[in-house]
Structure 1
Amino acid sequence: MKSIKKVGFIGLGDQGGPMAEAIGGQGFDLHVWARRPASLAAVRAVPHVAHEAVAELARSVELIALCLRDDADIWNLLTDQDLLASAAPGAIIVNHGTGDPEEAERIGAHVAQAGAVYLDAPVSGGSPGARARTLTTFAGGPAEAFEAARQVFAAFSDTVRLMGPVGAGQLTKLFNNALTLTNMKNVEDVLALAEQVGLNVPALIDIVGASSGGSAALRALGTDITPELADHVQHLMRKDIRHFAHAVRRHGARPDEVLERGLAGASGLVPAAELVTRSRA
C-alpha cells in the first residue's frame, strides 16, 4: 500500500474548504485550484500550493480530491480541463460530492481506462462536521486505493468505511440522505403542531434533542438550517432524494413511499426554518 504525501483539492466551498484545511493541517503537501481567487482564503491558515490550472495541479499530486456540486462538474474537470489526461498513472481521483451511483460507475470506468483509480467517497456532516473534523466518509472503489486514501479521509472524518465497488459510496450516502429527509418531514410536522398548541418550541427542541426523539434533522433545523440557507438546502435535498429513487428502481426495488415523504420533507424546509426562527424571536 502506497503512502500518500501530495494531495490536490478542488472545491473550496463551505464544506470543501474546511476539508482541505484539515488535510493541510495534517502535514500533507496540499495543492489547490479554485475558479475564484477569493476561495483560496479557505486554506490560508495552512501551507499549500495554489495552481493556476487544473492540469498543473493534476501533474503535481498523487491523490486528487473533488468536492463539487454534481456529476457534471466532475466530467468538466476530467475531460474539458484535462485533469485526467494530466494525472500520473495510478493517481487516485476521489469524488466527495453526492451524485448518481450509476454515473459514478461510468466515471470510474472512464478513469480506469485512462490508467488512474476512482473512489466515490461522499461525506455526511455538512460544513459544521467539516470544521469539527467529524465527517462520515462512505467510500466505493478498489480496496487498495481506499486503504491508501484512508489516511487522507481521516484528516476530516471520524468515521470512514469502504462500502463496496465504485458506486457503493454514493448509494450508501443516498440511503443516509433518504433517512434524513424523511426524518425532517417528521420534525416539520411535530414542530408545527407544537406551535399550534402553544408549546415553547425552542425548549421542546432542546429537551427532545437530549431524549429519545432527538435526531440529526432536529439538530440541523434548530441550528444550521436557517431561513436564509433553507432554500438552497431544499434544492439539494430534492436532487438527492430523486437520485435515491432512481438508484433504488435500478436495483428492482420500489422507493415510492420514501420518495414521496422525502420530497415532502424538502418542501416543508423553508416554513419550518422560519417557524424555529420566529419562535426564538
Structure 2
Amino acid sequence: MTSMHPRIGWIGLGDQGAPMARAIAEAGFPLHVWARHKASLDVLDGFTYEACSTVADLGTDSDIVGLCLNDDPDVREVVTNGGLLESLKPGAVLVNFGTGLPAFAAELARLAVPHQVRVLDAPVSGGHAGAVEKRLTVLVGGDPDVVATVRPVFETFATTVAHLGGHGAGQTGKLLNNTLLMANQQNIAELLDVAGRLGLDLSALVNVIRAGTGSSVALQSLGCTITTDNAEHLSRLQLIDMDIYRKAVALLGDEIDPLTDRAVAGAEALPRLARLVTS
C-alpha cells in the first residue's frame, strides 16, 4: 500500500457496520461499498463513498476489506462463492469484524494464503451505541504487522484496539467477553430476586449499585441501551453467541459447564431484567 489513505472496501451495513463505515468515510479514507440491496446504501447518505456492483469489483478496488456480517457462513459465502479472495491483490488485508468461531478465523487465514491476502479476525464490542459514538473495542487476532497496518482504520470508530494473539485470538477474546457480560446479567437477576424478597425498592437499589462498587456494564446497560423494546431481540442474539462459545470451548471438557450455564441463564433472563429495571 503506497497511499497514506488505503482504499477501504466494506460489506455489511447493519446496526454496527453502518456507523463503522460512516466513521471510516468521515476520516477521509476512500470507501468502496457493496450491498445485496441498493436500499441498504441509504445509511451512507451524506457521506463520500463509491458503490460497487459486485463483490469482485469491490475486491479489485480495495487495499483493506472489512466484513461486518451476521455469521461465519455469510463470511464464507462472500469470500469464496462471491469471489472476494480471487479479486483481492497480493498484500491486501481482509478483516472479519463479525463474531464467530476461532477455528473459522484460522481457516479463513489458510484459505487466503494462496492469494497472498492477509487476514485479521477483529470482532468488536460496544453495540450500536458504541459504534455511533466511535467508542468500540476491537479484539484482534492475526499478525502484529498487519494489525499495525490496519490500526488507523480501527481508530476511526474505536477507542480501544487490543491485539490478543494469532488467528482466532480475537474471536476467542470476544466470546469470553460476551460470556462474562451474560454471567453478570445472571448475577443481577439473582441479586434482584433476593432484594425483592427482602422488600427493597428495586429501582432505587439499581440506581445505588450503578453508582457504587458493585456496578458493571451489564447493569449500566439495563434501562439505557437495553430496554423492554429490544431486550427480547438482544436475548436471542446473546443465545446465538453462547452457542458459538459452547462450540469454541468444547474440547476443554465439562468442568467449564457452570460458567457456560450461568451465562446462558443470564442471556435468557435479559427480558425479565429489562422489565424489572424499568417497572
Counterpart contact for 2:206–2:277, Cα < 8 Å: no
Q: 1 CA distance for matches of 2:23 and 2:248?
A: 32
| Structure 1 gaps, min length 5 | none
Counterpart contact for 2:5–2:28, Cα < 8 Å: no
Residue equivalent to 1:37: 38
TM-score for both structures, normalised by structure 2: 0.93
Q: 1 CA distance for matches of 2:248 and 2:5?
A: 32
Is the alpha carbon distance of 1:275 and 1:147 closer, same or farther for their aligned partners in structure 2, counting shifts above 3 Å?
same
Find the residue that maps to 2:165 and give its secondary structure: coil
**Alignment: residue pair count:** 278
Query: Post-superposition shift, 1:181?
Result: 0.8
Find the residue that maps to 1:226 and give its secondary structure: coil
Residue equivalent to 2:102: 101
Q: 2 CA distance for matches of 1:219 and 1:45?
A: 33
Q: Partner letter of residue 222 of structure 1?
A: G
Q: Partner letter of residue 244 of structure 1?
A: Y
Is the alpha carbon distance of 1:197 and 1:93 closer, same or farther for their aligned partners in structure 2, counting shifts above 3 Å?
same
Residue equivalent to 2:160: 159
Query: Post-superposition shift, 1:4?
Result: 4.7
Residue equivalent to 1:188: 189
Residue equivalent to 2:265: 264
Counterpart contact for 1:31–1:48, Cα < 8 Å: yes
- Percent identity for Structure 1 against Structure 2: 41
Q: 1 CA distance for matches of 2:270 and 2:231?
A: 6
Counterpart contact for 1:4–1:148, Cα < 8 Å: no
Q: Partner letter of residue 236 of structure 1?
A: L
Query: Post-superposition shift, 1:27?
Result: 0.7
Residue equivalent to 1:15: 16
Q: Partner letter of residue 156 of structure 1?
A: F
Q: 2 CA distance for matches of 1:168 and 1:228?
A: 34
Residues 118-197 of structure 1: pairs in structure 2 closer than 5 A: 118-197=119-198
Query: Post-superposition shift, 1:83?
Result: 1.0
Residue equivalent to 2:231: 230
Q: Deviations over 1:77-99 (max 9, x none)?
A: 01121111111111100011110
Residue equivalent to 2:88: 87
Report which stretch shifted further, 232-241 or 75-84: 232-241
Residue equivalent to 1:210: 211
Is the alpha carbon distance of 1:205 and 1:41 closer, same or farther for their aligned partners in structure 2, counting shifts above 3 Å?
farther
Q: Deviations over 1:25-47 (max 9, x none)?
A: 11100111122223212222321
Is the alpha carbon distance of 1:45 and 1:271 closer, same or farther for their aligned partners in structure 2, counting shifts above 3 Å?
same
Query: Post-superposition shift, 1:252?
Result: 6.0
TM-score for both structures, normalised by structure 1: 0.93
Find the residue that maps to 1:31 and give its secondary structure: strand
Aligned-residue RMSD, C-alpha: 1.8
Find the residue that maps to 1:255 and give its secondary structure: helix
Report which stretch shifted further, 55-64 or 237-246: 237-246
Q: 2 CA distance for matches of 1:143 and 1:5?
A: 18
Is the alpha carbon distance of 1:143 and 1:187 closer, same or farther for their aligned partners in structure 2, counting shifts above 3 Å?
same
Counterpart contact for 1:19–1:130, Cα < 8 Å: yes
Query: Post-superposition shift, 1:142?
Result: 1.2
Report which stretch shifted further, 152-161 or 266-275: 266-275
Counterpart contact for 1:77–1:83, Cα < 8 Å: yes
Q: 2 CA distance for matches of 1:26 and 1:131?
A: 14
Find the residue that maps to 1:138 and give its secondary structure: strand
Is the alpha carbon distance of 1:172 and 1:4 closer, same or farther for their aligned partners in structure 2, counting shifts above 3 Å?
farther
Residue equivalent to 2:64: 63
Q: 1 CA distance for matches of 2:54 and 2:196?
A: 53
Q: 2 CA distance for matches of 1:11 and 1:255?
A: 34
Find the residue that maps to 1:228 and give its secondary structure: coil
Q: Partner letter of residue 21 of structure 1?
A: R
Query: Post-superposition shift, 1:196?
Result: 4.8
Find the residue that maps to 2:146 and give its secondary structure: helix
Q: Partner letter of residue 12 of structure 1?
A: L
